[in-house]
């Protein structure tokens, strides 16, 4: 009994010593009273990240230190150091003082103004890297009449997260070179919030492992989700597949990934994606070689998922492609782009995650010709691949509509030797519905780039379409055209706006249409390939 009392006394003394010892000897305890010098920005909406600069915060947040917004505890900070804190403005915060409280005392108050929630759209990207051989960009597009301030949070896998602020003038497009913002050799996910509505894309160019060069881009997720689906995927010879998951939330995500094979077999494996971080899965290493595979991602916390692939198609055309996942299966899918011209090979990948077989009707809207139809069954728990060249024959430009009696997932991979000068491939997830407004943040007609916009009018009425091209200096150029029912049309942007311009695009139509952008390039006159992205439609 005496030994137990002695142990308890020693534990109490040790605990007290952590409180009264000099700060330099106690991890996580501030060495001086906390002082705030500036909060950036000084005003914003709930849910945005802010930086708090000053001194005496201590090296760690620990269990005692906290940040409050007019008395509302902000919880766990994104980043905490003695002179800098990054934290999310809590949902219930009101206008008033920001205060940092440590074990020693509370800091001086600094006023923060809570703004009325604007119609802002968050944008999330799971993939991103500044490793050797990769160059990553963000393109920010503001199609409206007032300047927009964007807050970009870089969720770095192996280092402290970083937050940056960028002003985007009215009707302008701004380029951000991510390698310069976060340094080299980092894997990174990105979240973007804005004071008003803003449209974002993430182009990447690469020399992958010094063997396959090219580039890809994707639209962002406009919301996180607990489920993500991918129809395409392969670990065949000459293909390397990855799954990237970004968690912008404050809680670690427990994730199950189900790998769905063409023969009906599947395997589910668990993963953890830490809060405010990203996680990458090497699919080839996970499931082995020579497998065609669809993916289902299920998480107990909302996150975002993308699937990059790098390849040497038929041991001849090397590049990389990427797509955002679909949040849910659907019975209708559209694709505006598609061709079987010389030097192009087009595929459709259909995945059925349901427990019942799906009967699928594929309508090919051929440019300047009658539609063609195809019917295919996709068994429950399997994926099917359609060779579009074999279905349509050569030299056909065709958009696609897919109707299924069961909810499925659809993607469209394409591989090419573009005009016998640039080879590679790109892929896109389909979209579930038509819209009257589409936005494309990326685009350029610089030397070594050729940009196309593909439009589909699947309706029964003629569509009057207005295209606004926005440039970096805030100037714009307009184009008007008519698109007949059940037709697709391609715009060579270089031929419309001229060469040497970075350009974002807004497309408006009096009928529901579909819009995509394909680009073919030789980046730095060294890395050739192509990329594709479906247009962005803002939520209602």
> Tell me: the pLDDT tens digits for 258-278?
999 988 899 999 999 999 899
Confidence check: pLDDT of 405 > 80: yes
User: pLDDT at position 24, please?
Assistant: 37
pLDDT value for 421: 96
**CA 21 from centroid of its chain's CA atoms:** 47
At 287-333, the pLDDT tens digits run 999 999 999 999 999 999 999 999 999 999 999 999 999 999 999 99
- Greater confidence (198 vs 411) lies with 411
- Full-model pTM: 0.85
Three-state secondary structure call for residue 115: coil
Query: Would you say residue 494 has pLDDT above 70?
Result: yes
Across 115-135, average pLDDT: 87
Higher pLDDT, 46 or 425: 425
What phi and psi, each to the nearest 5 degrees, are found at residue 308? -80, 145
Comparing C-alpha atoms, which of 207, 76, 65 is closest to residue 134?
207
SS3 track for 141-200: EECCCCCEEEEEEEEECCCCCEEEEEEECCCEEEEEEHHHHHCCCCEEEEEEEECCCCEE
Domain residue spans of the chain: 20-114, 207-534
pLDDT of 118 higher than 80: no
Q: Which residues contact 294 (CB under 8 A, 6 or more apart)?
A: 229, 230, 231, 232, 233, 259, 260, 349, 351, 353, 383, 409
CATH number for the domain whose boundaries are 20-114: 2.60.40.10
| Confidence grade of residue 362 (pLDDT, cut at 50, 70, 90) | very high
Looking at the predicted structure, is the pLDDT value of residue 15 above 80? no
Question: For residues 96 and 72, what is the distance between their CA atoms, to the nearest angstrom?
Answer: 10
The predicted pLDDT at position 163 comes to: 87
Q: Report in angstroms the alpha-carbon separations of 4 from 8, 10, 15, 127, 357.
A: 6, 10, 17, 54, 67
Helix (H) or strand (E) holding 414: strand 398-418
Tell me if 518 sits within 8 A of 531, measured CB to CB: yes
Higher pLDDT, 26 or 154: 154
Residue 128, pLDDT above cutoff 50 = yes
Give per-residue pLDDT as tens, 508-537. 999 999 999 999 999 999 999 999 999 999
Whole-number pLDDT of residue 190 = 94
């Amino acid at each position: 009994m005496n030994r137990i009392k002695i142990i308890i006394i020693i534990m109490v003394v040790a605990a007290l010593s952590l409180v009264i010892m000099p700060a330099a000897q106690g991890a996580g305890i501030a060495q001086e009273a906390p002082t705030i010098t500036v909060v950036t920005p000084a005003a914003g909406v709930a849910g945005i990240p802010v930086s708090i600069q000053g001194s005496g915060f201590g090296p760690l947040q620990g269990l005692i230190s906290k940040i409050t917004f007019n008395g509302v505890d902000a919880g766990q900070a994104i980043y905490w150091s003695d002179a800098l804190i990054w934290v999310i403005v809590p949902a219930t915060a009101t206008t008033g003082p920001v205060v940092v409280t440590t074990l020693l005392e509370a800091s001086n108050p600094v006023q923060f103004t809570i703004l009325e929630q604007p119609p802002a759209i968050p944008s999330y990207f799971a993939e991103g890297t500044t490793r050797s051989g990769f160059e990553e960009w963000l393109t920010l597009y503001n199609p409206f009449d007032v300047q927009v301030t964007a807050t970009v949070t870089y969720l770095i896998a192996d280092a402290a997260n970083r937050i940056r602020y960028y002003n985007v003038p009215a009707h302008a497009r701004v380029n951000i070179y991510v390698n310069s913002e976060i340094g080299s050799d980092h894997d990174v996910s990105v979240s973007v919030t804005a004071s008003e509505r803003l449209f974002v894309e993430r182009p990447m160019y690469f020399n992958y492992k010094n063997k396959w060069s090219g580039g890809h881009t994707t639209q962002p997720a406009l919301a996180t989700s607990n489920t993500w689906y991918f129809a395409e995927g392969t670990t065949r010879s000459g293909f390397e597949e990855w799954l990237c998951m970004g968690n912008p939330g404050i809680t670690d995500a427990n994730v199950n990934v189900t790998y769905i094979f063409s023969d009906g077999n599947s395997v589910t494996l668990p993963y953890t994606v830490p809060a405010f971080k990203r996680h990458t899965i090497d699919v080839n290493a996970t499931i082995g070689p020579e497998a065609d595979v669809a993916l289902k991602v299920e998480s107990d916390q909302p996150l975002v998922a993308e699937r990059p692939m790098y390849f040497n198609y038929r041991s001849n055309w090397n590049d990389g492609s990427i797509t955002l996942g679909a949040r849910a299966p659907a019975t209708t899918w559209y694709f505006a782009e598609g061709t079987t011209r010389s030097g192009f090979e087009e595929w459709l990948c259909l995945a059925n995650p349901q427990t019942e077989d799906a009967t699928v009707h594929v309508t090919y809207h051929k440019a300047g010709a009658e539609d063609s139809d195809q019917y295919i069954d996709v068994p429950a728990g399997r994926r099917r691949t359609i060779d579009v060249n074999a279905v349509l024959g050569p030299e056909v430009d065709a958009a696609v509509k897919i109707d299924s009696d069961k909810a499925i997932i659809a993607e469209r991979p394409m591989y090419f030797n573009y005009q016998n000068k640039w080879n590679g491939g790109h892929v896109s997830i389909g979209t579930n519905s038509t819209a009257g407004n589409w936005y494309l943040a990326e685009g350029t007609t610089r030397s070594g780039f050729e940009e196309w916009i593909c439009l589909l009018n699947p309706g029964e009425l003629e569509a009057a379409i207005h295209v606004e091209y926005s440039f970096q200096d805030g100037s714009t150029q307009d184009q008007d055209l008519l698109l007949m029912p059940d037709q697709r049309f391609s715009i060579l942007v270089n031929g419309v706006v001229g060469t040497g311009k970075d350009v974002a695009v807004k497309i408006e139509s009096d009928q529901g249409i579909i819009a995509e952008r394909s680009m073919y390039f030789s980046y730095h006159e060294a890395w050739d390939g192509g990329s594709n992205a479906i247009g962005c439609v803002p939520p209602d």
